[in-house]
């Protein structure tokens, strides 16, 4: 699946969902979510400048990064383009897990599939990339990506929410479609019809003082 083109013309859905229910979206996070980005961009710039992550966090916490199936060692020189697939992981166990780390002393073990440095970036324009969040990254970064918004096929999200209907209706505080409030139950019913690409954002309700 690939989502690209003019993303701003899509229907936008904003869900307010209790924080404890955000894990409902874990299957999407590990399979891949499509997000808007200014491209081309280095992985480092995307994570820090566009996603707002601290460089220390990226260095110390995101220990394995995979771009289009290739393990990345240098995040400054790995370039995201429209349609790129980026996977983020914490440190993994095992010999393979260690070898797949950025800058691993065992990097030669996977030398045949290592990401080679990309060409220099050109002028930026909006595009989309697929981001996969594995393991600890789901909890760390998932809420941020969901709040920022993801591009998703309406049929996929409808099928998913129907499977978790009771929990969704219990935990969903509000739904806005194109900035107009609708009932969560109505949203579920209408989502079942048709197939379109949506811009979906999911945020938790404000913390009580």
Partner 1 sequence: MDKLLRVNMSAAGGPKATEEPIGNYAGLGGRALTTAIVSKEVPPDCHPLGAENKLVIAPGLLSGSPAAMSGRISVGCKSPLTGGIKESNSGGQAAQVLARLGYAGIVLEGKPADAEARYKVVINKDGVQVVRDDSLKMLPNYDLIEKMKGEYGDKVACMSIGTAGEMKMGAASIACTDMEFRPTRHAGRGGVGAVMGAKGVKVIVMDDKGLKMRAAKDPEKFKAANKSFVKGLQKHSVTGEALPAYGTNVLTNILNEVGGYPTYNFKQGNFDGAAKISGETLAATEKERGGNPTHGCHRGCVIRCSGIYHDKDGHYLTKQPEYETVWAHGGHCGIEDMDKIAQLDFMDDNYGLDTIEMGAAIGVAMDAGLIEFGDADGAIRLVEEVGKGTHLGRILGNGAGVTGKAFGVERVPVVKNQAMPAYDPRAVQGIGVTYATTTQGADHTAGYAVAQNVLKVGGDVDALKPEGQVALSRDLQIATAAIDSTGMCLFIAFAILDQPDTFQALLDMIGAFHGTEMTADGVTELGKKVLSMEREFNARAGFTKAHDRLPRYFQTEAFAPHNVTFDVKDDDLDTVFNW
- List residues near partner 1 by CB under 8 A: 23, 26-27, 30-31, 61, 63-64, 66, 69-71, 87, 89-100, 104-113, 132, 134-136, 138
Q: Which residues of 61-100 are buried (b: 16+ CB within 10 A; e: fewer)?
A: bbbbbbbeeebbbbbebbbbbeebbbbbbbbeeeeebbbb
Alpha-carbon distances, residue 106 vs 59, 96, 97, 103 (angstroms): 18, 9, 10, 8
| 66 vs 79, beta carbon nearer partner 1 | 66
Shortest reach from residue 142's CB to partner 1, in Å:
11
- CA-nearest of 96, 92, 89 to 110 is 96
| 37 vs 131, beta carbon nearer partner 1 | 131
Helix (H/G/I), strand (E/B), else coil: 46 = helix
Shortest reach from residue 127's CB to partner 1, in Å:
21
Shortest reach from residue 96's CB to partner 1, in Å:
5
- CA-nearest of 120, 187, 115, 178 to 158 is 187
Shortest reach from residue 152's CB to partner 1, in Å:
16
| 14 vs 72, beta carbon nearer partner 1 | 72
Shortest reach from residue 18's CB to partner 1, in Å:
17
- CA-nearest of 108, 94, 88, 89 to 43 is 88
Shortest reach from residue 108's CB to partner 1, in Å:
4
CA distance 204 to 23: 12
CA distance 84 to 34: 10
Instruction: List 11's β-bridge partners, or say none.
Output: 198
């Amino acid at each position: 699946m690939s989502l690209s083109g003019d993303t701003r013309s899509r229907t936008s859905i904003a869900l307010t969902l209790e924080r404890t229910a955000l894990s409902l979206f874990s299957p999407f996070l590990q399979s891949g979510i499509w997000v808007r980005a200014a491209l081309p961009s280095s992985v480092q710039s995307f994570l820090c400048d566009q996603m707002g992550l601290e460089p220390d966090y990226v260095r110390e916490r995101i220990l394995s990064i995979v771009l289009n199936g290739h393990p990345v060692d240098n995040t400054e020189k790995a370039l995201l383009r429209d349609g790129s697939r980026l996977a983020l992981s914490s440190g993994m166990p095992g010999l393979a897990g260690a070898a797949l780390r950025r800058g691993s002393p065992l990097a030669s073990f996977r030398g045949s599939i290592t990401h080679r440095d990309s060409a220099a970036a050109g002028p930026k324009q909006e595009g989309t990339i697929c981001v996969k969040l594995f393991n600890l990254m789901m909890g760390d970064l998932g809420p941020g990506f969901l709040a920022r918004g993801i591009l998703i096929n309406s049929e996929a999200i409808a099928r998913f929410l129907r499977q978790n209907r009771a929990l969704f209706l219990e935990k969903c505080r509000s739904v806005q479609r194109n900035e107009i409030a609708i009932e969560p139950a109505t949203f579920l019913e209408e989502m079942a019809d048709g197939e379109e690409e949506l811009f979906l954002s999911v945020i938790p309700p404000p913390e009580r003082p």
